[in-house]
Chain A
Amino acid sequence: MELSPESRILYYTLLSGLLADAVDLSALSSGLSVRRDDPLLQSLVKMTDEWVEREEAETRLRQEYANLFLLPGGVKPYESVYRGSEPMLMQQPWVDVKRFYRRCGWHLDESALPEDHVSVELSFMAHLLSDGEHDESSEFFHQHLNQWIPQLLRDIAENRYADFYQSVTDYGLAFLCAETEICEGKK
């Protein structure tokens, strides 16, 4: 699938935002309204349309986010946990990611999220693309993103608390599949 650079930036930014915090349904619905025919976003559009009609949707989304990402029964969206020698925070993968950011002149401001949180890594990719750093972006995709985020998305999809986020994972996996083709071509 061919994706324009602008689209790729948008998709990374969107996925980063969806995984950074509980979804703001009305903002998402508004944002998706101009891309309703986008093939990558179909699952997300459909789910958003359904949820906008639901009662107490915002509350349920926040609860789903908490159950999936903040509480023991959910997933641990950190590269260290997935790729470290132990399933703990702040392992070698975190150090490697920070090193990569520094190499690209990128520094994380005061943030509650560590550098290897999924949304931070996705946001970094968006920044690299918007700065035209295609070689670095391809390298980061192969060395980091694609090494663990597909598995994270699959774990979210299989988690018993996932409802709205099923569509996020559908979108994420489809996008990363497209990205794999693009970045393979750049290898």
Chain B
Amino acid sequence: MFSLTINGIEVMAKEGMTVFEAAEKAGIYIPTLCHHEDLSTFGACRVCMVEADGSLVTACRAPVEEGMVVRTDSPEVRQVRLSNVELILANHNQDCQTCDKNNNCKLQEVSAFVGVTPERMQSMRRFVKDEPVDDSNPFFYRDQTKCIMCGICIRACEEINGVGAIDFAFRGYETSVSVLGNKPIYDSRCESCGECVERCPTGALAVKDQSIAEREVKSTCPYCGVGCGVTLGVRGEEVVSVRGTRDHPVNHGELCVKGRYGFEFINHPERLTSPLVKKNGAFEEVSWDEALDLVADKLSGYREQDGADSLAGISSARCTNEENYLFQKLFRMAGTNNVDHCARLCHAPTVAGLATAFGSGAMTNSIADIEEAAAFFIIGSNTTETHPVIGYRVRRARKKGAALIVADPRSIPLAEQADVHLQLLPGTNSALLLAMAKVIVQEKLYDDAFVADRCEEFDEYIEALESVCLDELADITAVPKEKIIQAARIYAENTPSTILYAMGITQHSHGTDNVLALANLAMLTGNMGKRGGGVNPLRGQNNVQGACDMGALPNVFPGYQSVISPENRRKFEEAYGVELSGEPGLTLTEMFKGAGTGDIKALYVMGENPAMSEADTGEVKEILEKTEFLVVQDLFLTETATYADVVLPAASFAEKDGTFVNTERRIQRVRGVINPPGEARSDLEILCDLAGRMGMSGFDFSGPEDVMEEIASLVPNWAGVSYQRLNGDGLCWPCTDEADPGTPILYTERFLREGGRAKFSPIVYGPPQETPDENYPLIFTTGRVLYHFHTGTMTRRSRGLNALHDRERILMNPVDAENLGLNAGDTARVISRRGEVTVEVKPAPQIKEGTVFMTFHFAEACANVLTNTELDPASKIPELKVCAVRVEPA
């Protein structure tokens, strides 16, 4: 520690601190314009000048020294500061009264502090640049006449997001903040994350048409599984702004474009406002009593006539934990385990695979310790587009020197920064992972101590590896052997190494094997139970982890307690007061088959859109059409809801209380800030009302907090969870009692399998179920983009997000496009064995020859019309990532 004197006050400061930081710690204000606590120092504005041992220095850059004497308010300091501020003001657009930053502007604050006078302002020769406002971005505008060249926006783009879309351009008086080529920002790499806008000290960057909130409430983002903390700004009955919650452990105030700007759906005029019943093929508005009586009568009737297993429920990865819990409770009390949700289409292999390997099927580490990894192995995850705030962490860690391996069939944005990009053919993941394991074992790069102490069945695993040939595996993947060796060495030799993965691993007919292969690699190299390591599935939806945790699955009660176990059944029977089925129910994909054959009479869909998200949606739509009784509960009339017999209007995340669980198992609060529109209700209220009408008891909850009490009483890993304890940063389960602070990192001491050891699982490479042939010569793969979320129910109702990405295009390699006679903007037919879509073509060099790519965000050209329903045998996930197509000019 150093002792220095600031304005006569003795201050203790740590080595490495700046004078600015030391003064701030001592409560002494030093004005500044270009300094920001989240960013590196810049020292450009010269407003934080202080006198240190007789010399004038910038406080933000001057390191403290022992015995230093600092004056922050000497006459010379004041004069220098004033002059510098006056120079900035001399060329500043002074429309303060109508500026969006009026009363919230750092320049106003600093000008007042340094004592700018009207006389001095009058005497200056003022010349404001004649530069038009750039309002090309749909969410914010850039006004260079208000820019003070502090560089905060540039540093935010570089240091927070890692994109680096903007920088200083030109020289001298002409200097401005610009993008490459001095184009409108819309035409740049800018991802519209808004981190620059959030930090801009003046009105140079400001959100368009934003009202000032009357009050702010903390909640959790409703989009992806990162689970960022958001602070909702409310004015009257409208959410008018969203900002990242600064002290939140997941995102520290950072957000992506969807989280920050994509909330238009809340007050969208297409929100469902009243229950609807279909009569003679058309919907009509009915009362809640009529709608719910009808649903209750039908469900009860089918149960009585055709058995409880004629009912099936699809719960929601978008709804709260409490709602998912009640959904499975209702269906289980009705006598069936036919409950599932969209995890079946995404991380079902994770739940199956990681549970087999480690004893629990969830992310092993926390989002915070991702940045501590010495190496990243990112496979099947376009992280910067699908989990952007985690992507920021990866980019930051990379800049600090972490190694990066990216395995993806496309040259995704992260691949550009990778040490090695393994551009494998779709569906060859397990071959790649076997090859990497082979290298690690052959070169004795594995952690034999870890393997010996904490794992079992290693010998069987090694024996199985002996039979695989590296050259053959490399041929299968179409990745050069040298790159595979390089990647294996990077992963094994850097400690800790972390694995991040998503749909590119799971959405395959061998998805579970792919997950097991990843678990094998992590065990082999000892990268488990330590900060910066682990096997980290990036869950897609805001509460898909929670929906799984709450037992919205056919084979387990809440807390992954198997329905087969008589002991588990007895516990839940005692709690629910009825006999429960011990037969595992149908998965999502099986439910549709059942509805098609008529075995399933009633299908209840809460907050899901299978008409867009299932494989082979053409067949799914036919099944929905002929399902005897279909209930859909949602915010909007989705593609699935158009087939419903009854549509129930539900509340959004901003209109109800509850909890979500993010990908790192963190249980977090969601808080309602406005009322739902019209007669819409929370899913919790709807389910409790329905259960009552079906004669079920045990649904008399006064609110979600009560429901959580019941959950905590039945789920051992949640036993320490309560709303009171969730008011801060949330809790990472397992949290087994009231004193338990939660578990950010799993397996630090033991694994959750019996015996406490992790298990190696030998796997054998299996090809995709459908490969190219002469009729369907191209590999078709699917994915997502930054600006839209899944089936587009929310994001396609944001004009801004639509402006940034307005329609579907098929991405294909320029060589393939040329061979087919297709140019950019042409329309093509894309045909698979299941159906066809018509879509615009976009040649894209980042796509390998022989492969084409579409998203599943756009109903007008739905990729899942084409995808394959072949299932992974263990987890029953369909092979959404690989099928064969042909492309023809339309």
Mark A residues whose CB is within 8 Å of B: 21-22, 56, 59, 62-63, 65-67, 70-72, 76, 78, 81, 85-90, 95, 112-114
Q: Which of B267-275, B340-348, B376-384, B488-496 contacts A (4 or more CB under 8 A)?
A: B267-275
Residues of A within 8 A of B236 (CB): 90, 95
B268 touching A67 by the CB < 8 A rule?
Answer: no
Q: Which of B277-285, B560-568, B875-883 contacts A (4 or more CB under 8 A)?
A: B277-285
Residues of A within 8 A of B285 (CB): 21-22, 62, 65-66, 70
Q: Which residue of B lies closest to A90 (CB)?
A: B238
- Residue B264 at the chain A interface, CB threshold 8 Å: yes
Given A62-B285, A90-B236, A90-B237, residue A70 in contact with residue B269 (CB < 8 A): no
A56 touching B284 by the CB < 8 A rule?
Answer: no
A63 touching B282 by the CB < 8 A rule?
Answer: yes
Known pairs A62-B285, A90-B267; list 13 more (Cβ under 8 Å). A22-B285, A56-B280, A63-B284, A66-B282, A66-B284, A70-B273, A71-B276, A86-B264, A86-B799, A88-B264, A89-B268, A90-B237, A114-B237
Q: Closest approach, in angstroms, between the C-beta of B23 and any C-beta of chain A?
A: 44
Give bound CA distance, A65 to B209, whole Å. 33
Residues of A within 8 A of B799 (CB): 86
Q: Count of chain B residues with Cβ under 8 Å from any Cβ of A?
A: 25
A89 touching B637 by the CB < 8 A rule?
Answer: no
| B444-467 with Cβ < 8 A to chain A | none
Q: Closest approach, in angstroms, between the C-beta of A32 and any C-beta of chain B?
A: 23
A71 touching B238 by the CB < 8 A rule?
Answer: no
- Residue B198 at the chain A interface, CB threshold 8 Å: no
Which of A59, A67, A70, A78 is B280 in contact with, Cβ under 8 Å?
Answer: A59
Residues of B within 8 A of A70 (CB): 272-274, 276, 283, 285
Residues of B within 8 A of A85 (CB): 209
A59 touching B284 by the CB < 8 A rule?
Answer: yes
B283 touching A71 by the CB < 8 A rule?
Answer: yes
Residues of A within 8 A of B678 (CB): 112-113
Residues of A within 8 A of B283 (CB): 63, 66-67, 70-71
Q: Chain A contact residues: over half helix, strand or loop, or mixed?
A: loop
Most chain B C-beta atoms within 10 Å of own C-beta, residue among A56, A72, A76, A90: A90
Given A71-B637, A90-B236, A112-B274, residue A65 in contact with residue B284 (CB < 8 A): yes
Q: Closest approach, in angstroms, between the C-beta of B637 and any C-beta of chain A?
A: 6
Q: Closest approach, in angstroms, between the C-beta of A72 and any C-beta of chain B?
A: 5
Q: Closest approach, in angstroms, between the C-beta of A13 and any C-beta of chain B?
A: 21
Residues of B within 8 A of A113 (CB): 678
- Residue B679 at the chain A interface, CB threshold 8 Å: yes
Residues of B within 8 A of A81 (CB): 269
Residues of A within 8 A of B268 (CB): 88-89
Residues of B within 8 A of A95 (CB): 236
Given A62-B285, A76-B269, A88-B267, residue A112 in contact with residue B280 (CB < 8 A): no
- Residue B677 at the chain A interface, CB threshold 8 Å: yes
Residues of A within 8 A of B272 (CB): 70
14 A-B pairs whose Cβ atoms sit less than 8 Å apart in the complex:
A59-B284, A63-B279, A70-B283, A71-B283, A72-B637, A85-B209, A86-B799, A88-B264, A88-B267, A90-B237, A90-B238, A95-B236, A112-B273, A112-B678
Which of A22, A59, A62, A89 is B267 in contact with, Cβ under 8 Å?
Answer: A89
B284 touching A62 by the CB < 8 A rule?
Answer: yes
Residues of B within 8 A of A72 (CB): 270, 636-637
A59 touching B269 by the CB < 8 A rule?
Answer: no
B279 touching A89 by the CB < 8 A rule?
Answer: no
Which of B269, B276, B280, B284 is A87 in contact with, Cβ under 8 Å?
Answer: B269
Give bound CA distance, A87 to B798, whole Å. 11
Give bound CA distance, A22 to B636, whole Å. 21
Give bound CA distance, A67 to B276, whole Å. 11
| Mask: chain B, 323-343; 1 = CB below 8 Å from A; 0 = not | 000000000000000000000
Residues of B within 8 A of A59 (CB): 279-280, 284
Most chain A C-beta atoms within 10 Å of own C-beta, residue among B285, B636, B677, B799: B285
| B617-650 with Cβ < 8 A to chain A | 636-637
Residues of A within 8 A of B274 (CB): 70, 112
Q: Closest approach, in angstroms, between the C-beta of A9 and any C-beta of chain B?
A: 27
Give bound CA distance, A87 to B636, whole Å. 17
Give bound CA distance, A56 to B678, whole Å. 27
Residues of A within 8 A of B270 (CB): 72, 76
Give bound CA distance, A166 to B407, whole Å. 60
Residues of A within 8 A of B679 (CB): 112
Q: Which residue of B lies closest to A88 (CB)?
A: B267
Given A70-B274, A76-B269, residue A89 in contact with residue B677 (CB < 8 A): yes
| B250-296 with Cβ < 8 A to chain A | 264, 267-270, 272-274, 276, 279-280, 282-285
Which of B209, B279, B282, B677 is A67 in contact with, Cβ under 8 Å?
Answer: B282
Give bound CA distance, A70 to B284, whole Å. 9
Give bound CA distance, A167 to B636, whole Å. 29
Which of A22, A56, A89 is B269 in contact with, Cβ under 8 Å?
Answer: A89
Given A63-B279, A71-B637, A112-B274, residue A88 in contact with residue B284 (CB < 8 A): no
Q: Closest approach, in angstroms, between the C-beta of B677 and any C-beta of chain A?
A: 7
Q: Which residue of B lies closest to A117 (CB)?
A: B678
Residues of A within 8 A of B209 (CB): 85-86
Residues of B within 8 A of A67 (CB): 282-283
Q: Closest approach, in angstroms, between the C-beta of A73 and any C-beta of chain B?
A: 9
Residues of B within 8 A of A86 (CB): 209, 264, 799
Most chain B C-beta atoms within 10 Å of own C-beta, residue among A21, A62, A70, A85: A70
Q: Which residue of A lies closest to B209 (CB)?
A: A85
Residues of B within 8 A of A114 (CB): 237
Q: Closest approach, in angstroms, between the C-beta of A54 and any C-beta of chain B?
A: 13
